[in-house]
Amino acid sequence: MITKSNMYSDKLNVQILVSLLIEHQISHIVLCPGSRNSPLTHTISQHPFFKCFSIFDERSAGFFAIGLAQKLQHPAAVCCTSGTALLNLASAVAEAKYQQVPLLVISADRPPAWINQMDGQTIPQQGVFGNLVKKSVHLPEVQNDEDRWYCERLVNEAILSLSQHGRTPVHINIPISEPLFQYTASELPAVKPIKLASTQKTICDPEFVLNWSHSQKRMILVGQLPPDPQLEKIIDQISRQWHCVVLCEHLANIQNVKDVITQFDTILKVSNSSEIHQLKPDILLTIGGHIVSKHLKKFLRDTHPVHYLISKSGEPADTFQSLRGIIEGEPKSILETLCDSIPDVNIKTEAIAYKTRWNSLQDTQTRKIIDTTVPWSDLSAIRLFLDNMSPNAALHLANSSTVRHAQLFHLPPNTQVYCNRGTSGIDGSLSTGVGFSILHRGITYVIIGDLSFFYDMNVLMSRYITRNLRILLINNGGGGIFYQLPGSKKSPALVEYIAASHSVSAQGWIESLGIGYLAAKTETELRHCLIPFTQAEAEKNALCLEVFTDPQSNEKAIKTFYEILENKSHE
């Protein structure tokens, strides 16, 4: 018998949870299949407030939800059944923690009496993610008024934790007893949401203000952040007002700041020790999340600037081993306060010379890269794609070589850049991009390597593959980056075990799903394929462009690229 669409589960803890999701405006939920979570799945999917997505592989589902949260800049949820299904969400939870994404994990559970009793799909689920989540709650099965109060309080506490002192993943575990398929409730209960009253700091740290005003070699380093035009304007104002150097990678989404330095990786790689000494900052202010560049990390760890971190969560991250202080608060608010704290600043010759030095090196490296010819390789393929990529698009970068190669070249105007740099793993990059593309009106590009793609390809079986998704698959026959690591060739296990060499193509899988497929094995073929690949409207349901290279050519291309830059830098 099919129930009416306006009837909900009779489980009161389910009803309370769903009602509070509505009160806290958490509307986008990825639902994974299963029986134990069917009371949740039914109740959520039958309520008009929710926008639901069905992903059968929990590994993909968690990252798909991260993509939703990235686009929304608001919590998104993923709901799974009991047992090992929950464990498959661990990678996404870890990524959400370190990328600071508000991911709400909702897991159905068996009654506590049956845990560890050799019954089906019963494992200890309480606290299964440990310190990867800010908060983990185990809801009661509601039998009386006190249970109801307790259940509401736990759900409120968990949801508030998603965005309190920084964004973070949270886990709600909900035991559900049989019978599971009783949908007899005609409406959801009234609940009491607890709301968070936000506060902003209005005074910058006095020690920081003193050090900032007295220093001449000032540097701002912007880590991974979502696009925020208002933040860009504030950083641009500070850059001009104090004549400071602003460094950022593509993942910082800072494109409209005058004289922003994006080529610091190549600058540091090709400069000698004397030149690097001149680039040392006196004071460093960092904003945002992760930095990809190993050269920059080493440079700052070796030079020991006075380092201050602006952090919404207030948690310490001494990435460069010279952290002096943490300024807790929203970066925009803190920087605005900073602008007002030191209205009359004395810009000396040393400060002007410092910024001029960085700008000169940036201009030089940019010209050299434009003039440098790169042989056919991963590097040249990514460069050619970025040269032809549509403006105003979203770009999702997979980890390893992909994100590093993309950083070397300029992006089209108004490109939004994302990457799972929270844990920097290969899993979930495609699922995150697919989840993002569902909510993004323009084109969403995903540049991904072969191992990352094949690991995560189950997400392409979902019904959410739309025409605005474009997948640039770099197939170099294995983990190409491992061939470029110092000393890797000393191991006879490199090809078979470390790099997982293979000769597999994605063509059959892609075409079986009805996704448009293109392939390129030369630069000429790639140029031809990029014409339909970058068009606003695809003829089929999304497009995948598979580019074939080999590890030997890739290694040679990278070596040649930097040798040319280094030689030219000393001409």
Q: What is the DSSP string of 459-496?
A: GGGSS---TTEEEEEEE-SS-GGGGGSTTGGG-TTIII
The residues that bridge with 447 in the sheet, in sequence order, are 397, 472
Q: pLDDT tens, position by position, for the chain (571 residues)? A: 333 456 899 999 999 999 999 999 999 999 999 999 999 999 999 999 999 999 999 999 999 999 999 999 999 999 999 999 999 999 999 999 999 999 999 999 988 877 777 776 778 899 999 999 999 999 999 999 999 999 999 999 999 899 888 899 999 999 999 898 899 999 999 998 887 654 455 456 677 888 888 888 999 999 999 999 999 999 998 888 888 999 999 999 998 888 899 999 999 988 888 889 999 999 999 999 999 999 999 999 999 999 998 888 777 788 898 888 888 888 888 888 877 776 556 677 888 899 999 999 999 888 888 888 888 999 999 999 999 998 899 999 999 889 999 999 999 989 999 999 998 888 999 999 999 999 999 999 999 999 999 999 999 999 899 999 999 999 988 766 655 656 655 567 666 555 667 788 999 999 999 999 999 999 999 999 999 999 877 666 899 999 999 888 888 888 888 888 877 555 5
Q: What is the 3-state secondary structure (H, E, C) of 26-85?
A: CCEEEECCCCCCHHHHHHHHCCCCCEEEECCCHHHHHHHHHHHHHHHCCCEEEEECCCHH
Alpha carbon distance 395, 49 (integer Å):
29
**All residues at 6 or more sequence positions from 307 whose CB lies less than 8 Å from its CB, including other chains:** 283, 284, 285, 286, 300, 318, 320, 322, 323, 324
Alpha carbon distance 325, 285 (integer Å):
10
In this predicted structure, what is the pLDDT of residue 503? 84
Q: State the amino acid at position 436 in one-letter form.
A: F
Q: What is the DSSP string of 350-362?
A: HHHHHHHHHHHHH
In this predicted structure, what is the pLDDT of residue 202? 47
The domain covering 372-569 belongs, at the CATH homologous superfamily level, to Thiamin diphosphate (ThDP)-binding fold, Pyr/PP domains (3.40.50.970)
In this predicted structure, what is the pLDDT of residue 199? 46
Residue position matching structure tokens 């448009």: 516
Enumerate the domain spans of the chain.
Answer: 12-175, 225-365, 372-569
Q: What is the DSSP string of 387-433?
A: HHPPTT-EEEE-TTHHHHHHHTSPPPTT-EEEE-TTT--STTHHHHH
In this predicted structure, what is the pLDDT of residue 268? 92
Residue 6: CB atoms within 10 A of its CB come to: 12
Nearest Cα neighbor of 99 from 73, 60, 138 is 73
Sheet containing 543-548: order of strands:
416-419, 394-397, 444-449, 469-475, 543-548, 516-520
> Is there a common fold for 12-175 and 225-365?
yes
Q: Are 47 and 136 in contact (CB under 8 A)?
A: no
Residue 275: CB atoms within 10 A of its CB come to: 15
What's the CATH fold of domain 12-175?
Answer: Rossmann fold (3.40.50)
Q: State the amino acid at position 514 in one-letter form.
A: G
Q: What's the distance, CA 10 to chain centroid?
A: 38
Nearest Cα neighbor of 555 from 448, 397, 405, 371 is 405
Nearest Cα neighbor of 331 from 215, 224, 410, 483 is 224
In this predicted structure, what is the pLDDT of residue 328? 82
Nearest Cα neighbor of 250 from 413, 481, 360 is 413
Dihedral (Cα; 379, 385, 386, 390), 10-degree rounding? -170
Alpha carbon distance 24, 160 (integer Å):
9
What's the CATH fold of domain 225-365?
Answer: Rossmann fold (3.40.50)
